Structure 1
Amino acid sequence: MKIIILGFGAVGQGVARVLSMKKEYLKSTYDLNPQIVAVTDRSGAAINVNGLDEEVLLETKNETGKISAYPEYGAAGVSSLQVLEDVDYDCLVEVTPTDIEDGEPARSHILKAMGDGKDVATSNKGPLALSFQELASSAQENGVEFKFEASVGGAMPIINFAHETLAGCSIESVYGILNGTTNYILSRMANEGSSYEQTLTEAQEMGIAETDPYQDVEGIDAACKIVILANSVLNLPVTLKDVEVEGISRITAESIALAKKEGLLIKLIGEASPDALEVSPRLVPKGSPFAVEGTLNVATLKTDLADDVTVVGKGAGSVETASAILSDILSIWKVRK
């Protein structure tokens, strides 16, 4: 399988790393020989139709910050759309930075690949939260596979779990903790009695929170994931503007202490159902499945046959998120083999 990776930040590098780590396993278990034939970042591209070396890709990015510095096969200034046009490949892995204003450039990358009859795996929330129906329709019209497990909950299996493991069930709602940064902040505030501002600063220093944490702490990231779940699991044709969103920036140490006295925790919960599309701080019992700490994510799917089914997993991380992309690549391979 010939793969193009667009975007070589943490997740793109994670994909290269897991493909390198699992090369023998993929060949022996699935008869899959993945070849990365092109990678792009802001500097340009590295292209080799016979396959790029994953370790050299990682070393080049780490040492120079530019994938276009890849020895012999680097090409400065080449655009991602140009790479999609010129390079022969089977599967696009779209992991460019998320843009929640217009979903670009990821939306155009994905539509271009689908229009050319190529399968797509992505972790990119932007185009999914804004243009899910358009992308799903394009995939269907062009007869291609469109996978996005990594867009919700990182390594936590939920989308494929809902479609495959719970295939015989009607899923009535999905709700859960879908942002690791806010869960870390609220967990630390509960354990240490610290203020929101102090805990956010600590999280930023540790690299858990972004320098600009707005999308995480104001609930936008979780809202994007709720939109993806609403569309893909509940078949609700909604977009980001349909979600009621409240973040955690107004949560005080006093309110958390008061909740603790009652045996409760404050968590940022997202809910998708035919009756509600919402992200907001909610009270949960200390012993509940939602009493997870750190950067863990947790989601409960309410079904007609299996009642409530809850999944837990790491919501972020380079290799963790890449593990979900690898599962999507394998799903595509099983269809195409």
Structure 2
Amino acid sequence: MDECKIIVMGFGSVGQGIVKAIKMEKDKILETLGINLKIVAVADSCSSAINPDGLNVEELLKTKSEKGKLGQCPNCGTTNTDTDVLDNVDYDVLMECTPTNIDDGEPARTLTLKAFSQGKDVVTSNKGHLALNYKELDDAAKANNVMFKFEASVGGAMPIINYAKDALSGNQIISIIGILNGTTNYILSRMTSEGSSYPDTLKESQMLGIAETNPTQDVEGIDAACKAVILSNSVLGQPATYSDVEVEGISNITSEAVSLAKENGYLIKLITEVSPKTLKVSPRLVKQGSSYDLNGTLNMATLKTDLADEVTTVGKGAGSLETASAMMTDLITILRTKN
């Protein structure tokens, strides 16, 4: 392989981050691996831009910013989207960046299975289809002898799945406990430091772009629950789906509860626990000064192992380029393996 043709599905924050990251790292990958990365198609929810010779990243970003639709890209814009793009473009790897859908996992599920059936490798940042259909996707990847990588779906820039499988491959992972949602960590951190109420802090985080306009997936623990399912399946080897997770969010946490915890040397954090007997997301008391004492949007996870005891990893759990960094790591793993 001296060339890798890439399709990017989804052109929101993460999709735009991955095309920027590919442009930034392209020369280094060519130098170290001898492989030229070429983005041959990018699709948003209603249109796409396609060029078999490679798309211009600056033009893609400018068109999306100014006109809102990739179909408006000069000379390369089309009305094709979703599986139509996969059927009409020659490619090697699908970078799947569509929004998480916890109701039915679409369109990520269909796009991923379609790519597998075409013998293509897939890198995704999505959580919905993994939380609902992990076994189906894993079985399909194996049946088609392709690679399926999803590091970005759990910790953003924080390594956890690849870390467990590679750096800790000599260990049995017994459990994983951590903070796996940056939005809720920001809100609870601000409530602790400022003594502010939950509604006021949520509003602040929305103004800063940390929380979504509809923050339900984050604040009600849904996002973290999806990540618990992915970790249970991929790291612990314990089959699970979203319905197996006990979930409680932070919307009922009061400033009084946060202050009382602080006075007694504790913090309230939204904690995700994954073990053979427990799949749970809930607010818990943690000690000030412990590894859980993180501010802002940072994520952390402590992996309990049989040989190395406890190992903790920390990193940014969200962000355009931060999430793209995990997807680039997965892409490079595929390139090295196939090369």
- Indicate the TM-score class for this superposition, using the shorter chain for normalisation: over 0.9
2:238 is aligned to 236
2:68 is aligned to 65
1:50 positional shift: 1.1
Q: 1:37 aligns with which of 19, 35, 40?
A: 40
Aligned counterparts, 1:1-337, within 5 A: 1-76=4-79, 78-337=80-339
Amino acid at match of 1:283: L
Moved over 6 A (4+): none
Task: Give me the whole-angstrom Cα distance separating, in 2, the residues matched to 1:19 and 1:60.
Answer: 18
**Contact kept? 2:82, 2:107, Cα under 8 Å:** no
1:262 positional shift: 1.2
Using the size of structure 1 for normalisation, the TM-score is 0.99
Which has the larger displacement, 203-212 or 53-62?
53-62
**Contact kept? 1:3, 1:90, Cα under 8 Å:** yes
> What 5-or-longer segments of structure 1 have no aligned partner?
none
How far does the alpha carbon of each residue in 1:245-264 deviate from its partner, in whole angstroms, 9 at most, with x for none? 00001111111111111111
Task: Give me the whole-angstrom Cα distance separating, in 2, the residues matched to 1:183 and 1:174.
Answer: 18
Amino acid at match of 2:157: A
> What 5-or-longer segments of structure 2 have no aligned partner?
none
Amino acid at match of 1:33: N
How far does the alpha carbon of each residue in 1:50-83 deviate from its partner, in whole angstroms, 9 at most, with x for none? 111112111111111111111101112x121011
Amino acid at match of 1:165: A
Instruction: Name the SS of the counterpart of 2:155 in structure 1.
Output: coil
How far does the alpha carbon of each residue in 1:230-280 deviate from its partner, in whole angstroms, 9 at most, with x for none? 000001110000000000011111111111111110000001100100000
Instruction: Name the SS of the counterpart of 1:249 in structure 2.
Output: coil
Task: Give me the whole-angstrom Cα distance separating, in 2, the residues matched to 1:80 and 1:48.
Answer: 16
Amino acid at match of 2:55: L
Task: Give me the whole-angstrom Cα distance separating, in 2, the residues matched to 1:100 and 1:83.
Answer: 24
Amino acid at match of 1:25: K
Instruction: Name the SS of the counterpart of 2:106 in structure 1.
Output: coil
Instruction: Name the SS of the counterpart of 1:325 in structure 2.
Output: helix
Instruction: Name the SS of the counterpart of 2:184 in structure 1.
Output: helix
**Contact kept? 1:244, 1:278, Cα under 8 Å:** yes
Instruction: Name the SS of the counterpart of 1:135 in structure 2.
Output: helix
- Aligned identity (percent) is 60
1:30 positional shift: 2.2
Instruction: Name the SS of the counterpart of 2:307 in structure 1.
Output: coil
Task: Give me the whole-angstrom Cα distance separating, in 2, the residues matched to 1:169 and 1:318.
Answer: 32
Task: Give me the whole-angstrom Cα distance separating, in 2, the residues matched to 1:23 and 1:170.
Answer: 36
Task: Give me the whole-angstrom Cα distance separating, in 1, the residues matched to 2:82 and 2:196.
Answer: 45
CA RMSD of aligned residues (A): 0.7
Task: Give me the whole-angstrom Cα distance separating, in 2, the residues matched to 1:247 and 1:31.
Answer: 47
**Contact kept? 1:20, 1:55, Cα under 8 Å:** no
Task: Give me the whole-angstrom Cα distance separating, in 1, the residues matched to 2:206 and 2:319.
Answer: 15
Instruction: Name the SS of the counterpart of 1:8 in structure 2.
Output: coil
How far does the alpha carbon of each residue in 1:190-212 deviate from its partner, in whole angstroms, 9 at most, with x for none? 00111111100111111111111
1:26 positional shift: 1.4
Instruction: Name the SS of the counterpart of 1:22 in structure 2.
Output: helix
Aligned residues: 336
Instruction: Name the SS of the counterpart of 1:49 in structure 2.
Output: coil
Using the size of structure 2 for normalisation, the TM-score is 0.98
**Contact kept? 1:230, 1:272, Cα under 8 Å:** yes
